[in-house]
Structure 1
Amino acid sequence: MCLSLIRSLHISLAGESISNGKDAKQSSTDDIHVASRALDISYLNSGSLTARGNLSWWDLDLRGYFTISNITLTARNSTVTHMTNAYVEVADKDISLCSDVQAVWCGAVPHGIAPGEKVTFTCNGIAPVRFVRVTRRSPNHIPLAIGHVDVQGEGATKPYRSHYKPSPNKKMLQPFLATSATTVGDCGIVCHKHHSCIDFSYSATAPTDDNCLLTDKALTSVHIKDNSWTTYTIYCI
């Protein structure tokens, strides 16, 4: 494994951003500074901000499995000490929910980072991951503040067998793919092969050209009266 860290006020590494429009959450939120603000460059001045705590974290769900090329954290233009010594990890599952997470430590933000400064982590050789987490421990209960987070990489196949929890009488609203499947198992295999698929809906009696619906977004299924549809959500084991 090769691990490196780059500090620069101006360098921007080329590559495809895979973090834009994805889902972010954090351990707590101070006022309006929600986790998603750290993914929007227009909020660079204020970014995301947790409440005071001894263990604060910010978590990004990439909504699929990817090989990461680099992760860039940009300090806010104010209260930059709130990002000092924070460390970055990547994982195959949600660290806050799952007990069998394969997490890899990528590096820590150095002390004395300047306003607007970028810190880029490269974690070469790491297996495909889905989650990026920034964590900060503070005995003085100083919050975690992040100006902007950018993750670059490319799609990869899921690194392990998928397991899904069924929810009867639920169907996808806006699937990114509607296809046919002979059985629910076949539909699950189709979902597994698409690195961005996290949930799917299946019906044994719907027309065979659209009885398998795949989604890469959370909370896109609704309850319906047709009990032939079931939505299957990936979960931790």
Structure 2
Amino acid sequence: MLLSTPELVFIVTCIVVQGGQLQVKAENIMLYKLTRLSSTLSRTNTHQYHSNYANDGSRTNWPARSNYQTRPFWQGDLQGFYTVHNVSITSDSFGYATELRGAYIGVSSVDVDCTDDDVTWCGQWPPDTLHGVTLTFNCTHEQPVRFVRVWRNTTNYLSLSEVEVQGTPTRKNAAKYDKSLNQKLSTPVTAVNAISANDCGIKCHVTQPCLGFSYNPSGDPPCLFTTSTATTTATGWVSYYISTCSHNITCDLTDQFK
């Protein structure tokens, strides 16, 4: 899904850098990341079964739960590209465990709304009712992925208590970027020196995970990295961030970050 703010200028750029994977980390890389539900069930005016209940670090807290609908889904954004090794799903223990029956577990390099979805299936929840149970599904995929998804191919609810993911940060061979003028990253995680926007982009690419960067030749320092694409208005800054709808991009590195 491409951004459509008035100041947005859409460009296509690619970066190809030799290299492999970084060291495998054992922690849950889905913890506290951005999530979404196809819809959010409200039990009362004061309680909603929000999507982030499924990655709050608790297997016994309230579940994330959708409305009754066709093909309900939960999706988590890893905020970077990874080789996902396994996904652990915990069913609800409050009486909604049946709402996970037959659910599919998968990973994708693009957002669920993209027309070029490339979801890879990792496993399927059994048809039995399993209350408060954690099952682990192994994933095998060729391309680096950014999103983890749980969905049901039926008209029903979807309920899940926790999603935990283990994986390795991976350099995406090439990517399509969006460019935004006079915008600066709101929450940069790394700041470095760079002699140009192109140099900044390359350094972002080899520093994983990194979804985007801001560059200002007058900045001190001029190059900022981020795993979130949130920006704020700032004269003189230009921000580039990987589109949520881009995969199978193949081209050579050229000086396109201008």
Task: Report the TM-score when normalising by structure 2.
Answer: 0.78
Partner of residue 232 from structure 1, selected from 236, 240, 255? 240
1:177 offset after TM fit, Å? 1.0
Aligned length: 215
How many percent of aligned residue pairs carry the same amino acid? 33
Partner of residue 147 from structure 2, selected from 131, 134, 152? 131
1:176 offset after TM fit, Å? 1.1
Equivalent position of 1:9 in the other structure: none
The correspondence of residues 36-75 of structure 1 with structure 2, limited to 5 A, is 36-42=52-58, 44-75=60-91
> How far apart, CA to CA, are the structure 2 residues paired with 1:154 and 1:161?
18
Equivalent position of 1:150 in the other structure: 164
**Which stretch of structure 1 is more off in the superposition, 84-93 or 164-173?**
164-173
Q: Which 4+ stretches in 1 moved above 6 angstroms? A: none
The correspondence of residues 1-237 of structure 1 with structure 2, limited to 5 A, is 15-31=26-42, 32-42=48-58, 44-77=60-93, 78-96=95-113, 98-124=114-140, 126-138=142-154, 141-158=155-172, 160-207=173-220, 210-219=221-230, 221-224=231-234, 226=235, 228-235=236-243, 236-237=245-246
> How far apart, CA to CA, are the structure 1 residues paired with 2:226 and 2:96?
38
Change (3 A) 1:53 1:152: same
What's the RMSD between the two structures over aligned residues?
Answer: 1.8
1:126 offset after TM fit, Å? 4.0
Structure 2: tracts of 5 or more residues without a match:
1-24, 43-47, 247-258
Change (3 A) 1:165 1:35: same
SS of the equivalent of 1:36 reads: helix
Structure 1: tracts of 5 or more residues without a match:
1-13
> How far apart, CA to CA, are the structure 2 residues paired with 1:119 and 1:82?
15
Task: Report the TM-score when normalising by structure 1.
Answer: 0.84
> How far apart, CA to CA, are the structure 2 residues paired with 1:142 and 1:44?
23
> How far apart, CA to CA, are the structure 2 residues paired with 1:101 and 1:34?
24
